[in-house]
A = this chain, B = another copy of it.
Amino acid sequence: MSVAKISRYPVPEIKDLHADIREAILAVQEKAGFVPNVFLALAHRPDEFRAFFAYHDALMEKEGGLSKAEREMIVVATSNANNCQYCVVAHGAILRIRAKNPLIADQVAINYRKADISERQKAMLDFAMTVAANSGSIGEAHFETLHGHGFSDEDIWDIAAITALFALSNRMANFTAMRPNDEFYAMGRDLA
Q: Is the interface of A mostly helix, strand, loop or mixed?
A: helix
Q: Are B116 and A175 in contact (CB under 8 A)?
A: no
**A95-B160 Cα distance, complex, nearest whole Å:** 28
Among B80, B137, B157, B168, contact of A165 (Cβ-Cβ < 8 Å):
B168
Contacts A135-B175, A163-B171; is A89 near B110 (CB within 8 Å)? yes
By the criterion of a CB under 8 Å from any partner CB, how many residues of chain A are at the interface?
68
In chain A, residues 18-54, which have Cβ atoms closer than 8 Å to a Cβ of chain B?
44-45, 47-48, 50-52, 54
Q: Residue A139 contacts which of B47, B52, B113, B131 (CB distance < 8 angstroms)?
A: B113
Q: Count the copies.
A: 6
Q: Bound state CA distance, A170 and B8, in angstroms?
A: 27
Shortest CB–CB separation between residue A72 and chain B, in angstroms?
16
List residues of A whose CB falls within 8 A of some B CB: 2, 4, 8-9, 44-45, 47-48, 50-52, 54-55, 57-59, 62, 80, 82-85, 88-89, 92, 102-103, 106-107, 109-111, 113-116, 131-132, 135-139, 143, 153, 156-157, 160-161, 163-165, 167-172, 174-177, 179, 182, 185-186, 189-190
